[in-house]
Amino acid sequence: MPHIHPKTTPIYQTSVFAFEDLNALEQYFGQPGQSYMYTRYGNPNTDELAQQVNKLEGGAGAVATSSGMSAILAAVLAVCKAGDHVLCAEDIYGGSSALLSQELTRIGISVSFVPSADIYTLKDYLQPNTRLLLLETMSNPLLEVFDMARLAQETKQHNILLVVDNTFATPVLTKPLELGADIVMHSVTKYLSGHSDVTAGVVVCKEEAVLQRVQKVMMVYGLNLSPFEAWLAARGLKTLRLRMRQHCSNAVAVAKYLQQHPKVEKVWYPGLEEHPQYALAKQQGQGLFGGMMSFKIQDDKEAVNRFMQALPTIPFAPSLAGVTTSISYPLGASHRSLTSEQQQEMSITAGVIRLSVGIEEPEELIAELEAGLAAV
């Protein structure tokens, strides 16, 4: 059989790899990374994805996982044990909040949620056993932008790790590790893969020792990604820069349209000059502001229903970051697990709609939204 040099990595759709003999087995354990044994431990496709994301983020290495949630779990468990304490930004994805407050507390890891107003002065929230602060580059769903360099300074002062969910920004806009963060994670499901056909996550680490712990957690807890999903994600990643530029330019146009619409009470988008962190977002995002926004119509679920039903093609799909535009409803989907008091504190009310702006022509998107808002 001739030697084959494929331009694209083949899909290694296998659960196990064969050894020639016991010598080869000993070599596997003696020289890690030189060969493969079992796909839960490692696979060429998952390694390719991890290496490509690591290259974009500038870390010491990365680990691919089965979802964004398992990436957060792996990052926290790599650092924390029973009896430890973590800090988490109050404004964060509801699934992250639920993981910490409902599940990790059951195994002895306690959590304190820090309001945005106090995020740069952590001393009142710290405990002797505090290990890390978890937050997002841009918060979900109301797009508050956090100053990574300032946070890195604060966390280092208190000898805790800064763990950043960079899903909304992507390394095209912001590279938290370069700004002082210790661990970065992504829901690869979203922008990195980009086509709404993959569920995956990745953890990128600044330090080799932390990376090895994340790798161990992924293997032992079985948080591994399948080869085919990894192959699809690596393929999607190749167009990330092109897609992000279009997501961002479309989002600016859409945000400005929504801002002037009489039926829209408020727009949350970092690319609007009225946004409280506009200057920071511009500097930290290399002049790009992302493709995510939220906006508020009247606080009436029936009005939201009429809006959704009147959209000609934009779907109500509770995820984000696909090449096609979609809307979500934080109160009933991403932040459903929060108490009504928490939802009110975060300004997630009945009229708030999250919009994931795709890469279609902006004029088409604005015409769609016009049709939806006409029904409100």
**Nearest-angstrom CA–CA distance, 270 and 279:** 9
Give residue 348's pLDDT: 82
Give residue 338's pLDDT: 67
Cβ(146)–Cβ(136) below 8 Å? yes
Give residue 1's pLDDT: 65
**Nearest-angstrom CA–CA distance, 250 and 362:** 5
**Nearest-angstrom CA–CA distance, 141 and 92:** 8
Of the candidates 175, 190, 213, 296, the residue annotated as catalytic is 190
Average pLDDT of the chain? Answer: 95
**Nearest-angstrom CA–CA distance, 284 and 95:** 26
Handedness of CA 246, 251, 256, 257 (dihedral sign): positive
Of the candidates 93, 125, 269, 329, the residue annotated as catalytic is 93
Of the candidates 165, 182, 213, 269, the residue annotated as catalytic is 165
Q: What is the mean pLDDT of residues 290-316?
A: 96
For the full predicted model, state whether its pTM sits above 0.85.
Answer: yes
Residue 337 has pLDDT above 70, yes or no: no
Give residue 347's pLDDT: 77
Give residue 3's pLDDT: 78
Per the annotation, the verdict on 93 as an active-site residue is yes
- At position 88, the amino acid (one-letter code) is C
Cβ(306)–Cβ(375) below 8 Å? yes
Reported as type and span, the H/E element at residue 64 is: strand 61-65
Q: 103: which DSSP letter?
A: I
Cβ(152)–Cβ(120) below 8 Å? no
Q: What is the mean pLDDT of residues 350-369?
A: 97
Q: Per the structure block, which two tokens stand in for 132? A: 């890390």
Query: Which domains can be identified in the chain, with CATH numbers?
Result: 22-237 (3.40.640.10), 240-374 (3.90.1150.10)
Give residue 60's pLDDT: 98
Regarding predicted confidence, which is higher, 177 or 338? 177
Q: Compute the chain's Rg from CA coordinates.
A: 21
Per the annotation, the verdict on 55 as an active-site residue is no
Which of 61-75, 115-129, 318-332 is predicted least confidently?
A: 318-332
Q: 143: which DSSP letter?
A: -
